[in-house]
A and B are shown apart, each in its own frame.
Chain A
Amino acid sequence: MPENKKITLKEVEHIAELARIELTKKDQEKFSDELSGVLGYVEQLQEVDTKNVKPVSQVTGLINVVKEDVAEDFPEDGREIMIKNFPEEKDKCIKVKQVM
C-alpha cells in the first residue's frame, strides 16, 4: 500500500522524463502539489476489500476478438493528406533526427 506522501520535485522530474514531456520549473512545482493532492484523494480506494475480486478487463464481456490478417488499401487521397501532415518530409517519407 502506498503511503500518503508528497510527490517530490525529483519524482515529478522522473515521471516527466518517462512521459517525454519537458516541464518548466514552475510546472514542476505546480504538479508536485497537484499530483500529491489527487493521489491523496484516490487513497480511499485502499479501504475497499478486493480480496478474490477480479479486475475488469473488458466491460461488456468480449473475449479474444480476432480479425483476418489481411491488408486493406488506404485511399490515395488519404495518403496524400497523411504526407501533408508530416512536420518534415523527404520523398514522401517522414524525416526525423538521427535515432542511433
Chain B
Amino acid sequence: MKLNELNIMQASKGLQNGEFSSVELTRACLDRIKNTDDKIKAFITVTKNYALLQAEKADQRIKAGDEKDNFLLGVPCSIKDIVLTKNILTTAASKILNNYIPPYDATLITKLKKAGMVMLGKVNCDAFAHGSSTENSDFFTTHNPWDLKRVPGGSSGGSSASVVADQCLYSIGTDTGGSIRQPAAFCGMVGLKPTYGRVSRYGLVAMTSSTDCPSIMAKNVKDSAVILEKIAGKDKRDATTLNKSVDNYANLLDNYNIKGAKIGVPKEYFTKELNNAVGDSVKRAIKKLEELGAEIIEISLPHTKYAVPAYYIITPSEISSNLSRFDGIRFGYSETGKENSEAKNLLDIYLKSKGEGFGSEAKRRIMLGTYALSSGYYDAYYLQAQKVRTLIKKDFEDAFQKVDLIIAPTSPTVAFKIGEHSDNILEMYLEDIFLSAVSLAGLPALSIPCGFAKPENGDKEMPIGMQIIGKPFDEKSILGIANAYEENANWSKKKLSV
C-alpha cells in the first residue's frame, strides 16, 4: 500500500512508530496530486513548500514524543478554498476573490495548525459554495475520480475528489445545505456535518450564516470522529458556537451499543424522486442495521417537501447580505485603478466590480435574495419561509421523541454527468431535496457509503450514500451507528483507478 492511500489512524500509527516520516507521507501525496490532478482538477492552489515545511515541523514534534494520541499530527489534508488561511491565497473559487490573501486564519485552521496539520493546498468548490457539482466554480469543474465524465458533487467537490483519489488523507469543507454530505455520497466516503454551532464559523467566507457548518470529509468513520474532536468547541469569535462538552468521539465509537437503538425511517424520503437502485441500497443498509440489533420505526416528517422552497428563500436572502461586502473597495477584484476604466464615481466602482467579479450563480442568488427582502415582499417570502422553517424543525423534534436517529438517502441519484443539469436551475436546486431540511433545523448528519450502482446513462459503477441524522449535539450516536454499519459492510474497501 502506498503511503498516500493510508487513512488517518493508519498513518498516525506509522508516523509514531517511526515506520515513515511526515515528509515522506507528504511527498507521496504531492506526487499523487502531480500525477492525477490534471485529470481530476481538485486543487486551486497546491502549497508544496508550505506543506513540506509543516511536515518537517511535525516530524520534530513526533520525535520529541508525548503526542501519541494526537492522530492528526503530521497527516496531510486539503482545505476547501472557502476557509481563510493566513497569507495563502483564498478565492472561494470566485473571480471576485481571485487575488485575495487573508490576513488571518479561520479558527478551525488555528486549531488544526496547533494539532500539527500538514496542508497540501486549497481545493475547488462551487463559487462561494453556491452549487451541487463544482460546475459553478469560476475557474474549472472538478471531475469525479470514479468516472471523470461525472461531477464529484458540491459544493465541496474538490474536498471529496481529493480524498477519494488518495491525494490527501482528509479534507475540511463546509455544509450549508448539503455541501459535504452530497459530495461524500457522490464520491463514496464519509462526510460529517456537525450540529450548527458545534464548530466555529469564524474565518469562513460566509454564505448563509444561519446554516453554514464547517464539515469533515474522511476515508472512514473513525477518522471523521478524530477530526471532529480537534475542530469542535466554543469560540469567542463566533457568537453562535455553544459551550457544550466536546467528547473523545473516536474512543466512544468502540463503546457504542447498537442493540435497541431506535432508528426512524421517514416515509417522505422514499418518494418517486428517489432512484430505484439508490433506494434499494439504502433499504438494504437499514435491514443490515436491524440485523445488528437496531429497532426500525417508520416515521413521518410532514413538512419535508417545503424544505427546498424555504431554503431557496432563506439562503439567497442571507447571501444578498453577506456578499454585499465584495464591493471592489477593500480587497478582491476591483474596477479601481484599472486601465481604460469607464468608472466615473464610487457607484460605478461598485456596479462594475460586482458586475464583472461575480459569476452567474452568485448574481442569481444575490438578485433573488434582494428581491425576497425588498419592501413589499419581505412578509410573503422571507418571513413565511422562516415560519415554515419552524415547522420543519418541529417535525424533527417530534420524531426525536420516538427515535434516537433518522436514516434517509443522501441524494436521490448517483453522481450525474458534467453538464447534465447545468441548463436548468431548478433541477440543480432539487439535488438538495434530502439535504435542506437537516440544514434548516441545524441538526448533525453524516453520509456514509452504502453501495454502488451503474447509472442508466453510464458504464461505471458509482457510489451511493446514506444519511444518518441525529439530535442536536448528539454526533456521538451518529458516529457510533455509522461505525457499527461500516464494520459490517465495508464499502470503502472498493478502490478506484485514475
Chain A residues at the B interface, C-beta cutoff of 8 Å: 1-2, 7, 11-12, 15-16, 18-23, 27, 31, 34-35, 37-39, 41-46, 48, 50, 53-60, 62, 65, 67, 74-75, 77-79, 81-82, 84-88, 94-99
Q: Verify if B496 is at the interface (C-beta below 8 Å from A).
A: no
CB-defined interface of B236-260 with A at 8 Å, one 1/0 digit per residue?
A: 1001101000000000000000000
Q: Verify if B146 is at the interface (C-beta below 8 Å from A).
A: no
Would you list 7 pairs from A and B whose C-beta atoms are within 8 A, ordered by A residue? A15-B367, A18-B374, A44-B306, A48-B384, A78-B104, A79-B103, A97-B343
- Which of B306, B351, B364 contacts A20 (CB under 8 A)? B351
Taking a contact as CB atoms under 8 Å apart, the answer to whether B426 and A42 are in contact is no
Q: In the complex, how many angstroms separate the beta carbon of B323 from the nearest chain A beta carbon?
A: 9
Q: Verify if B380 is at the interface (C-beta below 8 Å from A).
A: yes
Taking a contact as CB atoms under 8 Å apart, the answer to whether B103 and A46 are in contact is no
Which of B17-25, B153-161, B331-339 is found at the contact surface with chain A?
B331-339
Q: Verify if B150 is at the interface (C-beta below 8 Å from A).
A: no
Taking a contact as CB atoms under 8 Å apart, the answer to whether A21 and B367 are in contact is yes
Residues of B within 8 A of A84 (CB): 101
With contact pairs A27-B363, A58-B240, A85-B101 given, residues A21 and B387 touching in the complex (Cβ less than 8 Å):
no
Residues of A within 8 A of B309 (CB): 41-45
CB-defined interface of B329-354 with A at 8 Å, one 1/0 digit per residue?
A: 11110101100000111111111101
CB-defined interface of B381-420 with A at 8 Å, one 1/0 digit per residue?
A: 1011111111101000000000000000000000000000
- Which of B86, B239, B370, B385 contacts A67 (CB under 8 A)? B239
- Which of A1, A22, A79 contacts B351 (CB under 8 A)? A22
Taking a contact as CB atoms under 8 Å apart, the answer to whether A48 and B343 are in contact is no
Q: Which single residue of chain A is at the shortest CB-CB distance from B472?
A: A60
With contact pairs A2-B380, A45-B388, A60-B240 given, residues A7 and B371 touching in the complex (Cβ less than 8 Å):
yes
Residues of A within 8 A of B355 (CB): 21-23
Taking a contact as CB atoms under 8 Å apart, the answer to whether A78 and B393 are in contact is no
Size of the chain B interface, CB-CB below 8 angstroms: 78
| Alpha-carbon distance A57/B385, docked complex (angstroms) | 12
Taking a contact as CB atoms under 8 Å apart, the answer to whether B349 and A55 are in contact is no
Q: In the complex, how many angstroms separate the beta carbon of B124 from the nearest chain A beta carbon?
A: 22
What is the interface of chain B mostly: helix, strand, loop, or mixed? helix
What total of A-B pairs shows CB separation below 8 Å?
191
With contact pairs A96-B329, A97-B343 given, residues A20 and B354 touching in the complex (Cβ less than 8 Å):
yes
Taking a contact as CB atoms under 8 Å apart, the answer to whether A81 and B442 are in contact is no
Q: In the complex, how many angstroms separate the beta carbon of A11 from the nearest chain B beta carbon?
A: 8
Residues of B within 8 A of A65 (CB): 239-240
Q: Verify if B87 is at the interface (C-beta below 8 Å from A).
A: yes
Residues of B within 8 A of A98 (CB): 345-346
Residues of B within 8 A of A42 (CB): 309-310, 312-313, 381, 385
Q: Verify if B377 is at the interface (C-beta below 8 Å from A).
A: yes
Given A15-B374, A48-B384, 9 more A-B residue pairs with CB atoms under 8 Å apart are A2-B377, A37-B426, A41-B312, A42-B312, A44-B305, A59-B196, A59-B197, A87-B336, A97-B336
Residues of B within 8 A of A48 (CB): 303, 306, 384, 387-388, 391
| Alpha-carbon distance A37/B350, docked complex (angstroms) | 28
Q: Which single residue of chain B is at the shortest CB-CB distance from A48?
A: B388
Q: In the complex, how many angstroms separate the beta carbon of A1 from the nearest chain B beta carbon?
A: 6
Residues of A within 8 A of B393 (CB): 56, 59
Q: Which of A2, A20, A79, A97 has the most chain B CB atoms closer than 10 A to its own CB?
A: A20
Q: Verify if B14 is at the interface (C-beta below 8 Å from A).
A: no
Taking a contact as CB atoms under 8 Å apart, the answer to whether B380 and A46 are in contact is yes
- Which of B104, B197, B334, B390 contacts A62 (CB under 8 A)? B197
Residues of A within 8 A of B344 (CB): 97
| Alpha-carbon distance A23/B459, docked complex (angstroms) | 41
With contact pairs A42-B312, A88-B336 given, residues A56 and B330 touching in the complex (Cβ less than 8 Å):
no
Q: Which chain B residues numbered 452 to 498 have a C-beta less than 8 Å away from chain A? A: 472
- Which of B310, B328, B425, B441 contacts A59 (CB under 8 A)? B441
